[in-house]
Amino acid sequence: MVNIGLLGDISVGKTSLLRLFVRYLNKGDIENVEGGKKCTVVKTDFSGEATLPGGEKEDKLNQKETKTIHPNRVVFREDDNNRAHTIFGPGGDSSRAVVKMGIITISRIATQIIAVFSCDREIEIQFKFFNDIRFFPDQIFACINKVDLIKGNKTQKQKKLEEIKKQIETFFKEKKIGIKDFFITCGETVEGFDDIESYNNQVAEMILKITTAN
């Protein structure tokens, strides 16, 4: 049984990634991704989402409507061997004591950590979130989300992604933490973005790779 902690700054898309994964399980798409297999949702808990009052929308661009206060949780089972795994997605607003408590708890009980970053703002700013977390394994995974929001042509996007990877690697290296693998994802079904399906699939592939290999 693997406990995954999805950790990252506010609004990077942790809850969206979890919801997308649940959709893949419920619709059976999970069997069609790379390394896919039949899995079943055992339990989901998104009750820790709080609706933001209209005026307080933190992410006007994305029309963000909720923020995570208490950690989200998804439990699923691999059908062939009956192994169950849990993914926890605490909120990112560590300035709130109750949210921070969730982050600390999850960072302690998770056996695998995915550090989530968003391409819609500077990566440097998103590092601050990780400076407060003391309990981290030596090796973690990194997820670069909202890939649809990187500007430019294919070559420019590729270059930007390589830069982001290097920044992330350097930041964690100073903390003596290695990055086992990078995943480039899109947590939404964005229209007019060519490679959307493969980046949506990456979300499911990421979770399967981490759980079924451990």
Ligand X SMILES: Nc1nc2c(ncn2[C@@H]2O[C@H](COP(=O)(O)OP(=O)(O)OP(=O)(O)O)[C@@H](O)[C@H]2O)c(=O)[nH]1
By CB under 6 A, tell whether 10 contacts ligand X: yes
Q: Which stretch binds ligand X (CB under 6 A): 76-84, 87-95, 136-144, 205-213?
A: 87-95
The token pair that represents 108 in the structure block: 């302690």
Nearer to ligand X, 75 or 193 (CB): 193
The answer to whether 37 and 212 are in contact (CB under 8 A) is: yes
84-89 and 72-78 strand pairing: antiparallel
Q: Which of residues 132-171 bind ligand X (CB under 6 A)?
A: 145-146, 148-149
Nearer to ligand X, 56 or 174 (CB): 56
149 binds, among Mg ion, ligand X, none (CB under 5 to 8 A by kind): ligand X
Sequence-ordered list of residues with C-beta below 8 angstroms from that of 118, at least 6 positions apart, any chain: 8, 9, 11, 12, 13, 126, 145, 146, 149
Binding mask 174-193 toward ligand X (x if CB under 6 A, else -) reads ------------xxx-x---
Q: Contacts with ligand X: how many residues (CB under 6 A)? A: 25
For ligand X, the binding residue among 4, 5, 7, 12 (CB under 6 A) is 12
Sign of CA dihedral 119, 124, 129, 134: positive
Q: Which residue has the tokens 């929001």?
A: 149
131: number of Cβ within 10 Å: 10
34: number of Cβ within 10 Å: 11
Instruction: Output the smallest distance, CB 90 to ligand X, in A.
Output: 7
Closest by CA to 66, choosing from 83, 84, 85, 89, is 89
Give the separation between CA 90 and CA 73, rounded to whole angstroms.
8
41 binds, among ligand X, Mg ion, none (CB under 5 to 8 A by kind): none
Nearer to ligand X, 78 or 120 (CB): 120
For Mg ion, the binding residue among 19, 25, 48, 68 (CB under 5 A) is 68
Instruction: Output the smallest distance, CB 91 to Mg ion, in A.
Output: 5
Contacts with ligand X by CB under 6 A lie at 8, 10-16, 59, 62-64, 67-68, 91-93, 145-146, 148-149, 186-188, 190
Contacts with Mg ion by CB under 5 A lie at 14-15, 68
